[in-house]
Amino acid sequence: MTSPYQSLQHTEALARFDLLTVEEYDVRLDLASDESTFGSVTTIRFRSAGGPTFVDLKPVRVNEIRFNGTVLDPDLLERGRLPLDTLAGDNELVVDAVMPFRNDGEGLHRSVDPADGKSYVYGMSFMDAAPTIFACFDQPDLKAPYTFHVRAPEDWVVIGNAPGANPEKGVWEFERTQPLSTYFVTLVAGPYHLIRDEHDGIPLGLSARKSIAKDLDADADELFTMTKQCFDEFHRLFGIRYPFGDYHQAFVPEFNAGAMENPGCVTFRDPLVFSSRVTRGMRIARATTLAHEMAHQWFGNIVTPKWWDDLWLNESFAEYMGNRVTADVTQYDDVWSDMAYARRQWGLVADQRPSTHPVAGNGAFDASAALQDFDGISYAKGSAVLKQLNASLGDEVFFAGAIDHFTRARFGNATMHDLFESWERAGAGDLSSFTSNWLRTAGPDALVLDRAAGVIRRTPPADHPAERTHTFRAAVAVDGTWEDRTVEVSGPETPFVVPEGAPVVIDAYDETWAVAQADATTVRSLVPLLADVKDAHLRAGVWNNVRSSLHNAAIDPADVLDLVVASPPVEDPEDTMRRTWTWVFSRVVPLAPSGAAARVHAAALEAMVAATPGSERQLAALRAAIRSADDEAILRGWLAVPPVGIDMDLDLRWKVLVQLAAIGAADRDELQRALDAEPTARSRVEHTLAVASLPDAEAKAWAWARFTGEVSVPNYELEAAGLGMWQGGQEDVTAPYVDRYFADLPGTVAVRSGWVLADAAEFFFPRTVLSEDVLVRTRAMADDASLDLSVRRRLVDQADDLARKLAVRKAFPHS
């Protein structure tokens, strides 16, 4: 089944751009009359060369459509498109419609905070979602200014892309914005807790749900300090001031992405307001996210890509600049080593998949296809390549070209070609070879040490040949002492001789983009050495080499397990799905010899005991120990009396309860009591994860009802249900759902769309079933052209993950 809406194709966008010039949008929203829908009256004034086109509109129902004074039949609306026969010259369209409040993190998302029953709304217009808020020409290069008028409940605060006023209770009037692409338009509305400040003439704001007001208050000084530091640095680097008026940072519930760069009102997922103790890794992630969105105010908001195939002009630049500025001017000067853990494998894994694509010009023929390319290639790989380019050009040329680009296309749109012309004007010289090899050719080179031959071999991906030169430092331990060697790899073989048995870490400090692999000798030699490696970036380089090798079935998971046990990666806490601990539990433990989880648990306990009480190492080790525990007494002991230095806060309590559920040592009543005792939004998500993790048929049916849409839940709870559904060791109870996955997946297009449609296909994939049959069926379904494109893309990726696990098992069979 395909989506009930048509996704805009690039050819259609080109034709509409040639036909139209949008002068302005005037949007009136009534958020106060109903809890499931809202009124939306959109007036669009535009000029046309004359001829047929269409406007994008996805309402619950249409009250009236008036075009150039004539009432149109609402039945003309088909699959989200309203056809218009435009006049040459000025045109005016007025659409009075009723729109849906959504619970999937897109459009105008409305949620109820279980902590106090208060409702909160935010707008996410990205990609295909804007037409569920207002009628629009939904493509990035038809920019226009917006004026919003909003009616809301009297106790709500409403914030938008431009400064607003509250002339009477329940009424909000906003100033006219700068020209914006449709996907930047947002509103944040509800009884939010607000904090205000000012810096260098820019009004600053923070907001979050009232139930986490004290947590926002606790974090406000750090958030404002980083915001001010970043503004000063971006102004220094670019020489162009932030031009969008207020700068408000809204932490909103049930947000799909990490954040969205809406001018004037950036939205963030509100778990970034920390209500429990977190590691430095999470604080770095928040800091870089904050700086990333600020970088977007220039890369993306002042100048926006003309089409989605240049989305890297947004994301790669924001990733690079956000990391760089965070490292240079905030307290988190260790960003680059942390990013090596948090982001590098995300990009490398994506770049090795069948679904890989170039950083630039990714072939996004429609908006739906483009959405799938917001991945590790567009972020992590693009950032790494830009870091290399900056090192080559130097700051003077790099930023002079960027400034020229911002100046020439201010408040407009541009392409990659435009940017590279700006760099060439700034003195970069001919960049065609760099562009071809690094930005327009997909896939990474593999760098592997051949000890016997005394060379490092460079192997381009077979389907994407390129001639790339790699310059990097390799770390070699000689008699237990580490030394760095600078290497330039410009051909298939580069001489590199090391002492017998010496461990080698290729590209130890992330200075090029390649799949650098550790050989078996290195992994075994590292076992007695890794614990004494104090350089954080080198340790990250070790784990990236090891992860890439296991990903390509080049080393035995038993050897990797020995390394994990000898030196648990407690410097890389279990904070996100991309970090090393999560990889240990999802890739190493299931493929290593039996008893792997018990060995990891023992190592984590040892690391926890050895750590200083109250330290982050202790907290990270405890999290790993909880995740690997199969002893109810130990888990309940921690609930009753936590280790000295540990506060058994909400986050840790639920980690213990989820693990108790997964091993069958908790029941539904206990989990419900925990939710009732502290009914926060976080508790509701964790409760879903815990119930879905129970090893019984009732729990799996409960989780599956959320996948099929029989039970509608918000996006975070949907993800939690999928993650809990498939637990290792529960294969007997989940066996019936392998067939059901392939039977039920096509029908999910009728109950969800956008991000969450594809996410659910991934969350509920039978990832614990390592069989050739599942691989064959996954690939067959991915080839089904009648299936939604975003779902097919996720199936391709899941098939690749499964095939690689099976390859490891075949190469290194263990009982």
Cα separation of 533 and 502, whole Å? Answer: 15
Angle of CA points 680, 583, 343, to nearest 5°: 80
- DSSP line for 742-787: HHHGGGGGGT--HHHHHHHHHHTS-TT---HHHHHHHHHHHT-TTS
Amino acid identity at 225 = T
Amino acid identity at 576 = T
- 293 catalytically annotated: yes
Contact between 763 and 692 under an 8 Å Cβ cutoff? The reply is no
Tokens of 275: 């209500």
Contact between 128 and 7 under an 8 Å Cβ cutoff? The reply is yes
What is the DSSP pairing of strand 107-112 with strand 119-124?
A: antiparallel
Amino acid identity at 690 = A
Give the Cβ contact number of residue 28 at 10 Å. Answer: 16
φ and ψ of 561, to 5 deg: -60, -40
Tokens of 549: 């090798």
Helix (H, G, I), strand (E, B) or coil at 482: strand
Tokens of 342: 């948090």
What are 489's strand-pairing partners? 470
Nearest to 550 by CA among 591, 514, 600, 512: 591
How far is residue 164 CA from its own chain's centroid?
30
Tokens of 753: 């769309």
Nearest to 792 by CA among 764, 815, 770, 761: 761
Output the CA–CA distances (angstroms, integers) from residue 461 to 353, 444, 480, 637, in the order listed.
Answer: 11, 6, 34, 51
Diameter of the chain measured on Cα atoms: 85
Helix (H, G, I), strand (E, B) or coil at 7: coil
Total residue count of the chain as it appears in this document: 815
- DSSP line for 307-375: SGGGTHHHHHHHHHHHHHHHHHHSS-TTHHHHHHHHTHHHHHHHHTSTT---SS-----BHHHHHTT-S
Q: Which run of H or of E encompasses 266?
A: strand 265-269
Output the CA–CA distances (angstroms, integers) from residue 113 to 172, 190, 315, 680, in the order listed.
Answer: 23, 11, 31, 7
Which stretches of 330-362 are DSSP H helices?
Answer: 335-342, 344-351
Give the Cβ contact number of residue 531 at 10 Å. Answer: 13
Which of 293, 319, 574, 616 is flagged as catalytic? 293
Tokens of 49: 């060369």
Helix (H, G, I), strand (E, B) or coil at 798: helix
Active site residues: 293
